[in-house]
Amino acid sequence: MNIDLEQTVTQIMRHLRRADADCLLVRDLASIRYLTGCAFHSIGDALVLVSQRGVTLFTDGRYISVKRMLKNQPVGVVIWDRKDIPGAIFDVATYRRRTKMVIGFEQSHDAMSYGFVQSLRNAAQRTRWRSAVTIHALPDIMLPIRSIKTPAELRLMRRATARADRALQNILPHVKRGVTELDIARLLNIELRKLSGEDELSFATIVASGQNGDTPHATPGNRKIKRGDLVTIDYGLVYQGYHTDTTRTIIVGRLESRAQKLFDTVLAAQQTAQQAARPGMTGCDIDKIARDIILAAGYREKQFPHGTGHGVGLDIHEKPHITSSPKFGGVPLVPGMVFSIEPGIYDEGFTGCRLENTVVMTETGARSLSRLPMEIRVP
C-alpha cells in the first residue's frame, strides 16, 4: 500500500464530521485502488465504505482472491450477495449502532450513478432499515486527499516517468522524413506497453505533424513527416496504477521563421511557468504566467484553447487544475501535488506545438519528473 491508511481515514473522518455524516461510500475505481491497493476494471465490481471503524472493501465472488491479497492489511473484505448489495453495506455501516447512521457519497463524482444512489435510498426505506440509515450527497473528499502524493507514490511516479522517457528515446531514430504519424504512434505504443509492466497506456498516443498539429488533440494519420515539420508527440504509460503524461514537439530539420517563433514562444511559456511555480500559488497563477507570454508574442487567446495543466496520478486527469478558471484553478498548490505544465499554440492551417512536463511541487518549487530535454531536433 502506498499510503498511510490510518492517517487517510482520519482525514476522511474529519471531512465527514464537517458534513454531519458518519460513513463515506467510495465507488470510483482509482480511489478504491488508493485505499486498498486492489485494482478493479469496471464500476460496480467493488465499493469501499470508510467509517470510524476503518476501511471495508465490498466485492463479489469473482474477486474472492482479494481476501488473500489483503490478509495482512488493515482492510476488511466483504464478499456480497448481488441480490442485496444495500443490505451488505448497511450491515457494516450500522454495526453495533443504535443511533441513526448517515452515509455520504461524493455528489460531483460521475462514478456514483443516480440509479445506484436511488437503489440505496429505496433499500433504506425498508422496514429493517427505516429510520436507521439516510444517504446524503457530499462535496469531493477523496480527490483533494489524493492530490497530495505520499513519498511512496512519488517514487512510483518517478519510476513511471523514467520508463516513459525511455520509450520515447527508443523510437526517436524512427522520427524522420518519410515516416508517417501512424508509424511513429505504433512504434511508441509498443515501447510504452513493453515498459509499463501493465500493458497499459495513459491515453491514446498523439502524433501530429505539420498542419495536422494545428489542433490540441489531433489523431495520428497517414501524413508523412517532412523537412521543416514540427511533430508533437503526447504520450504516457501506466505503471503500478500511476499515469505519466509528457509532450515533446520534435523539430525535423530546419524550421522556417514562423514555425521557429511558435516553438520558441511555447518553450518560453513552459519553462517560465515551471520555474516560477511555488507553493501557495494557484493553478490560475501558473496558467496566467504561461498565457501572458503567448499573448505578448502576438498570438490570440483562441490559439491556446486549453488550460496549462492538470493533476496526474491514479487518474490521468485529477486535481489540481492549472487553468484560468477561478472555480477550478483557484486552489493553492502545496508540496506533494503532481501536475502537468503544458502550454501550446495552434496556428490554424499552419502548424502547432505543445511542450509538457509533469512536475511535483516541492517546498522550493516545481521539479520535473521527466529528464528529457525540452528541445529535441532530428535531421
Distance CA 176, CA 250 (A): 10
In the predicted model, is pLDDT for residue 181 greater than 70?
A: yes
Cα 284 from chain centre: 18
Share of the chain above pLDDT 90, in %: 80
48-107 pLDDT per residue, tens: 999 988 999 999 989 889 989 998 899 999 998 878 888 899 988 887 665 688 999 987
Burial class (CB in 10 A: 0-12, 13-18, 19+), 221: middle
Cα 375 from chain centre: 25
Mapped onto helix, strand or coil, the DSSP state of residue 233 is strand
Distance CA 351, CA 213 (A): 5
Q: Are 163 and 131 in contact (CB under 8 A)?
A: no
146-174 pLDDT per residue, tens: 999 999 999 999 999 999 999 999 999 99
User: Angle between the 85-93 and 114-124 helix axes, to the nearest 10 degrees?
Assistant: 60
For 366, phi then psi, to 5°, come to -90, 135
Q: What is the pLDDT at residue 199?
A: 84
Residue whose C-alpha is closest to residue 362's, from 284, 277, 244, 272: 277
Longest dimension (CA), the chain: 77
Cell numbers at 86, concatenated: 444495500
